[in-house]
Amino acid sequence: MSGKTLYDKLWDDHVVFTEDDGSSLIYIDRHLVHEVTSPQAFEGLRLAGRKPWRQSRNLAVADHNVPTTHRDQGIADPISRLQVETLEKNCAEFGITEFSMADIRQGIVHVIGPEQGATLPGMTVVCGDSHTSTHGASGALAFGIGTSEVEHVLATQCLMQKKARNMLVKVEGQLRAGVTAKDIVLAIIGKIGTAGGNGYTLEFAGSAIRALSMEGRMTVCNMAIEAGARAGLIAVDETTIDYYRNRPLAPKGDDWFMAERMWRQLHSDADAVFDKVVELAAFDIVPQVTWGTSPELVAAVDGKIPDPARETDAGKRESMQRALQYMDLKPGQAIVDIYPDKVFIGSCTNSRIEDLRAAAVVAQGKKVADTIKLALVVPGSGLVKQQAEAEGLDKIFIEAGFEWRDPGCSMCLAMNADRLEPGERCASTSNRNFEGRQGYGGRTHLVSPAMAAAAAIAGHFVDVSRIQSGSQ
Amino acid sequence: MRAFTKITARVAPFDRANIDTDAIIPKQFLKSIRRAGFGPYLFDEWRYLDHGEPEMDCSQRPLNPDFVLNKAQYQNAGILLARENFGCGSSREHAPWALEDFGFRVLIAPSFADIFYNNCFKNGLLPIALSAEIVDSLFKDLTDGYELSVDLESQTITTPAGREIAFDVDQNRKFRLLNGLDDIDLTLQHAEAIRAYETERAKRAPWLFSDAMTAKV
């Protein structure tokens, strides 16, 4: 018999029972809750007279609707305010811990989970949010669910699931200077497509993945969903163990040693068999910029926008044409000739301290171009913000002409006041470039934090790897 | 949940791949704390010529005459025919809520995004994945007033010409949908098994069952 994949191990460890048709009841170790996808679930519990199965496994925070300025004045939009207040009321009623807007630990749910050690290796982690895949970076099985399942997890601490297939995505070799985790994952999505991971759990492996920090691994797993996979995983190694040691909610004392021993088993066996294997060479990856309205429509920064006329698949050709029309771009146009109106550095993909450091290195001593109407830096959590300020990053950004904001999802999906106006173009470190995602009629180009900062300074996209190696 | 057994309904064709849940129901409508009332905002950015906001009276808004669901022949459609990877992106269950509230009961496409597919079954909405060739043939067949009959029990679609197309569905999901069963009730029937799992797991991973799991405010 062949060995087990990491996904097989995590799955087997959480099966309560399996039905005849292969569906399994899976035990959920950690449930993260936010204000947008939970009100109807709590209402369902109330109507049925049910209580949470295990209160301690839930952790709630408001992130999507929260303002990133003037927090002391509360939330101006009455509909947003009601949603955030509803979360507070529900958590109080059902005995669930919530980090309020005034708590230094408040932030984007996928930033605070690992930061607090609320999500740990070996866990099953769910949240009513597709970017829950982020937590797979720790060797946890983490995936997004809908509101009905949020209610189901609250009531039973379990979910009925069908096991996905195993895909290995291997990135071998050394990255070039200026190329980051974001570029790796965009290159992967460009290769396998936005539906390439449908029905699979992706395990990211290879020397380039192992060389990433935990935060870089989170960026990669965060976007597994943009390749269609509900969950992305990375094996536990020394980097993982070091990251979780001393996190507030991580096990302590003897429990820690027991956990560490267990976590070190969280890797695919050498003889494990995957249903599909995809390989990329790290050295071939250059900084990436999306040009369309799906994350798979991505190009190298030194490249050009492809010509739909050369696409043989009629459906793809049409998607490309529609995307070019929406984005107001032309085939053959150089990526470096694209001029954003706004720049957004933030989101659950790229708002951690290392992301902010990478952007600050580029911004230091420079000025945001006059043509950029707004350049925002939105830290992922209150603690990230505090750390950045301790390092003086806020001053670097503010002196360069960026706005330094309070933590939340912000312009990634524009549920608060931070948004694009119709026709505006944005260099964004977020995860989705769908039509209208960052605001009605807005145009999104997904890039890494260093690339976003470089675009803010230059006023157009530039190859940050060239700036950083001093040749431009 | 509303049960699904069989329907015969008009088909609306949406000839586009990778329709994401942001397009199905844009973010501003997710601020609602209710589960109903999303139908008027389904495909809001494509369906109307102005920018929609929550609680707007949609009967007064300018319609996009080119958008498929605004065409007279697709009013009251109950089946949506689409291309691959329907429902990709955000996990928002507001997407199936909006489709169901609009009047759709069946979605047919070559493939669906995993989270969206799962969410449909929780809301009396049947997503059917057929081969790209068959979906293509349905797009070609489609004429004004074209209707399909969908029978979940026998797992068949019948075309107006009498052609029968079989489809796959998990037996577990089929059973729940046919009977409109409450998933939570079904799971709670296994409460003892869940407790037994917890007892066994607590021996292997005691820290998961200690106070340390709770953040203090």
What is the rounded distance in angstroms from the CA atom of residue A240 to the CA atom of residue A52? Answer: 31
Q: Write out the DSSP string of B143-182.
A: -TT-EEEEETTTTEEE-TT--EEE----HHHHHHHHHT--
Chain B residues with beta carbon closer than 8 angstroms to that of A347? none
A43/B27 CB distance under 8 A: no
> In this structure, are strands B6-14 and B147-151 parallel, antiparallel, or unpaired?
antiparallel
B184/A155 CB distance under 8 A: yes
Q: What are phi and psi of B87, to 5 degrees?
A: 85, 25
For residue range A210-222, what is the model confidence (pLDDT) as tens digits? 999 999 999 999 9
E strand map for B58-178: 79-82, 106-109, 126-129, 147-151, 156-158, 164-166
What is the rounded distance in angstroms from the CA atom of residue B47 to the CA atom of residue B63? Answer: 6
C-alpha separations of B44 from A247, B26, B38 in Å: 43, 7, 10
| Closest residue in B to A120 (Cα–Cα) | B208
Q: Is A325 on the interface with B (CB under 8 A)?
A: no
Which domains are assigned to chain B?
Answer: 6-181 (3.20.19.10), 182-217 (no CATH)
The answer to whether the CB of A144 falls within 8 A of the CB of B91 is: yes
DSSP state of A60: E
Percent of chain A with pLDDT over 70: 99
Q: Which residue, among B90, B117, B177, B210, would best test binding to A if mutated, counting the most A CBs under 10 Å from its CB? A: B90
Split at pLDDT 50, 70, 90, the class of B144 is confident
For residue range A53-73, what is the model confidence (pLDDT) as tens digits? 999 999 999 999 999 999 989
The answer to whether the CB of A384 falls within 8 A of the CB of A106 is: no
Chain A residues with beta carbon closer than 8 angstroms to that of B19? none
| Closest residue in B to A81 (Cα–Cα) | B31
Q: What is the mean pLDDT of chain A?
A: 97
Q: Is B199 on the interface with A (CB under 8 A)?
A: no
What does the pLDDT average to over A315-319? 92
Q: Is B85 on the interface with A (CB under 8 A)?
A: yes
- Cα distance from A201 to chain B (closest Cα, Å)? 11
What does the pLDDT average to over B12-41? 96
pLDDT at residue A472, rounded to an integer = 41
B217/A103 CB distance under 8 A: yes
Q: Is A53 on the interface with B (CB under 8 A)?
A: yes
Q: Is B170 on the interface with A (CB under 8 A)?
A: yes
The answer to whether the CB of B24 falls within 8 A of the CB of B89 is: no
Question: Is residue B212 pLDDT above 90, yes or no?
Answer: no
Q: Is A444 on the interface with B (CB under 8 A)?
A: no
Q: Which of A114, A85, A39 is nearest to A380 (CA)?
A: A114
Q: Is A244 on the interface with B (CB under 8 A)?
A: no
Q: Is B214 on the interface with A (CB under 8 A)?
A: yes
The answer to whether the CB of A59 falls within 8 A of the CB of A97 is: yes
Question: Is residue B211 pLDDT above 50, yes or no?
Answer: yes
Task: Give the ipTM of the model, two decimals please.
Answer: 0.96
- Cα distance from B67 to chain A (closest Cα, Å)? 14
For residue range A222-243, what is the model confidence (pLDDT) as tens digits? 999 999 999 999 999 999 999 9
B170/A162 CB distance under 8 A: yes
A146/B118 CB distance under 8 A: yes
B85/A122 CB distance under 8 A: no
A228/B30 CB distance under 8 A: no
Chain B residues with beta carbon closer than 8 angstroms to that of A164? 114
Q: Which residue, among B38, B208, B209, would best test binding to A if mutated, counting the most A CBs under 10 Å from its CB? A: B208
What is the rounded distance in angstroms from the CA atom of residue B10 to the CA atom of residue B13? Answer: 10
Q: Is A118 on the interface with B (CB under 8 A)?
A: yes
Question: Is residue B76 pLDDT above 50, yes or no?
Answer: yes
Query: What is the reported pTM?
Result: 0.97
Place of tokens 């955030």: A84
For residue range A116-155, what is the model confidence (pLDDT) as tens digits? 999 999 999 999 999 999 999 999 999 999 999 999 999 9
For residue range A355-398, what is the model confidence (pLDDT) as tens digits? 999 999 999 999 999 999 999 999 999 999 999 999 999 999 99
Q: Which of A420, A416, A418, A355 is nearest to A381 (CA)?
A: A355
Q: Is B34 on the interface with A (CB under 8 A)?
A: yes
Q: At residue A359, what is the residue type? A: A
For residue range A241-285, what is the model confidence (pLDDT) as tens digits? 999 999 999 999 999 999 999 999 999 999 999 999 999 999 999
Chain A residues with beta carbon closer than 8 angstroms to that of B213? 56-57, 249
